Structure 1
Amino acid sequence: MVVAAVALRQFDLSTPRVPIGGGVEVAIDWAIINLSPVLETIKLGLTRVFKVMENFLLWVPWPVWVVLMGLLGRRLTSLRTGLLVGGGLLVIQFVGLWAEAMSTVALVSTAMILTVIISVPIGVITSRSDRLEGVIRPILDAMQTIPAMVYLIPAVMLLGVGKVPAIAATLIFAIPPAIRLTNLGLRQVPVEVKEAARAFGASNWQLLIKVEMPMALRTIMAGVNQSTMMAVSMIVIAAFIGAGGLGYSVLFALNRVKIGMGFEAGLSILAIAIILDRLTQALGKIGQPVVRRSE
């Protein structure tokens, strides 16, 4: 091996550079020119959805949200969860970042609504075909391997800067777990159960909606939970392209070396992450027997 290595050094091993980046730029330029009406429609639609959600979150007084979300946490799981949810919202209000937090929640919620709308049908279709799963799996692997920062590049090039590209980048980054676990959950439904449903005359649509989806709900919601946490992890990264909200507060504190402000913004992001995690986990357990601890 050593001799071969020394021998090879006598030759010119340089290779011509393949301009892959140039091809990507040409493709992006083509998309901007030819798909401009579609991109503008997407931007307008996402902007309206985001603004409606943000305005609603800010319109409802913060004490109402604290009480409602605390009661929801209590209803879905336990008193401890209800107190945790309500306490997390109180922390956000007391550090003076309520408006920024609601903007962040609106962005994450918009991205997650689109994630569910896109991922569940893809997961259902994938569960029906082993060949399709073989094609989609490496794509999902690649999407989860690529650093989150990279998703900002096509989002900015196609949609500019602001809330919309931040939503798009968050959506693309967060969608793989939801697709994976929707596919997994449907594949884990026992064959005997599906055969029994067919024996009673269930159509393919009835089998999916009334049998497979309810039985796979917990796994699907686990995927939604993972996607939600990945969307929350994009908060600060998306602030680089104008997402605003708590991510901007973190960047501002970092640039100005304001440790206290950065801690408050980070604490608010943590509170949002815990609240969304607990609630999405609880939603996956709806309809299943729950053993409550004595309180």
Structure 2
Amino acid sequence: MDWLRANKIPIGSYGEAAIDWLIDNFLWLFDTISNILSTIIAGLLYVLATPSPLIVIAAFALVAFALRRSILAALTTAAGLLLIVNLGYWTETTQTLSLVLAATFVCMVIGIPLGILAARREWIYNIMRPVLDLMQTIPTFVYLIPALILFGLGTVPGLVATVIFALPSSIRLTRLGIVSTPRQLVEAGDAFGATPVQRLFAVEIPYALPQIMAGLTQTIMLSLSMVVIAALVGAPGLGVPVLRALNTVDISRGLEAGLAIVILAIILDRFFRIDEEGRK
């Protein structure tokens, strides 16, 4: 055992050298990615934070009614957001919402094509599977450190960490929906002379839509679970008061900020949830 401990494999040193090499050779790329992500978040935040809270709340209530065809859904959405305003966390809520929406957008843009590719080629999924397992099981702080080094302090490293944590859900559930398409439907598409692309968009994706939407809601929930982690690297939002409450053992502030996160999670889940008939 002494010999084994004395001949330590320098994995940490190798990782540090890899990060230094990335900084030396691809800093321009990380700066470009950081600028793009910052622009997306800033645009979303402008749309959410510039109008009066009442206007934004009314818009959310209308969207809830349009998606769920339920007055109760619209009223509960408005009531939840009004409670957030009453608690004094509206600004933090818009910041968190912009971060979650940006992370979800990135996850779905990357995850859906990768999920389709994994469904098409089993050997590709066999390669991706251990990587996806690693992305979800490795402690968040492990990849938060290189994200902080590569992208600097602020919202972007929090967004990157959120994407790494939430991305596997969209990939796996998209693949599951595609591979679950009944063979009879696929054969019917082939019988009508559909090309693989036509079959994908006309048969497989419509059938897989409930699974894809489930991946979307899971991505949103996982993104919301990362708001406190993102606050540790300077990302604004509801994670900041939660972190401050934790540091000062402020039960009142922690309960209120946590309630705001729960309300936001429930509203977003109701927006994108698929019902039993496969419709919103």
User: Normalised by the shorter chain, which TM-score bucket?
Assistant: over 0.9
Instruction: Pick closer, same or farther for the CA change 1:91–1:151 going to 2, 3 Å.
Output: farther
Residue ranges of structure 2 left out of the alignment (5+ in a row): none
Q: Tell me, yes or no, if the aligned pair for 2:96 and 2:227 is still in contact at 8 Å.
A: yes
> Once the two structures are superposed, what CA deviation does each residue of 1:33-88 show, in whole Å capped at 9, x if it has no partner?
10011011011111111111101101222112222222322332233332322221
Partner of 2:24: 33
User: What letter corresponds to residue 103 of structure 2 in structure 1?
Assistant: A
Partner of 1:121: 113
Determine which of 227, 231, 235 is the counterpart of 2:227.
235
Determine which of 162, 172, 175 is the counterpart of 1:170.
162
Instruction: Pick closer, same or farther for the CA change 1:205–1:267 going to 2, 3 Å.
Output: same
Report the CA distance between 1:163 and its aligned residue.
0.6
What's the TM-score once normalised by structure 1's chain length?
Answer: 0.89
SS at match of 2:232: helix
Q: Tell me, yes or no, if the aligned pair for 2:210 and 2:278 is still in contact at 8 Å.
A: no
What's the TM-score once normalised by structure 2's chain length?
Answer: 0.94
Instruction: Pick closer, same or farther for the CA change 1:59–1:24 going to 2, 3 Å.
Output: same
Higher deviation after alignment, 78-87 or 118-127: 78-87
Instruction: Pick closer, same or farther for the CA change 1:26–1:168 going to 2, 3 Å.
Output: same
Distance 2:271 2:26 in 1: 38
User: What letter corresponds to residue 245 of structure 1 in structure 2?
Assistant: G
Report the CA distance between 1:198 and its aligned residue.
1.7
Identity %: 42
Distance 2:172 2:204 in 1: 16
Q: Tell me, yes or no, if the aligned pair for 2:230 and 2:239 is still in contact at 8 Å.
A: yes
User: What letter corresponds to residue 23 of structure 2 in structure 1?
Assistant: I
Q: Does 1:278 align with 2:261?
A: no
Q: Tell me, yes or no, if the aligned pair for 2:104 and 2:163 is still in contact at 8 Å.
A: yes
User: What letter corresponds to residue 94 of structure 1 in structure 2?
Assistant: N
Q: Does 1:102 align with 2:91?
A: no
Report the CA distance between 1:252 and its aligned residue.
1.9
Report the CA distance between 1:134 and its aligned residue.
1.2
Q: Tell me, yes or no, if the aligned pair for 1:151 and 1:173 is still in contact at 8 Å.
A: no
Residue ranges of structure 1 left out of the alignment (5+ in a row): 1-10, 291-295
User: What letter corresponds to residue 96 of structure 2 in structure 1?
Assistant: T
RMSD across aligned positions (CA): 1.8
Determine which of 13, 26, 47 is the counterpart of 1:56.
47
Instruction: Pick closer, same or farther for the CA change 1:286–1:52 going to 2, 3 Å.
Output: farther
Partner of 1:4: none
Partner of 2:254: 262
Distance 1:216 1:151 in 2: 32
Distance 1:13 1:22 in 2: 20
SS at match of 1:241: coil
Partner of 2:13: 22
Q: Does 1:151 align with 2:143?
A: yes
Distance 1:206 1:248 in 2: 47
Partner of 1:3: none
Alignment of 1:83-102 (within 5 A): 83-102=75-94
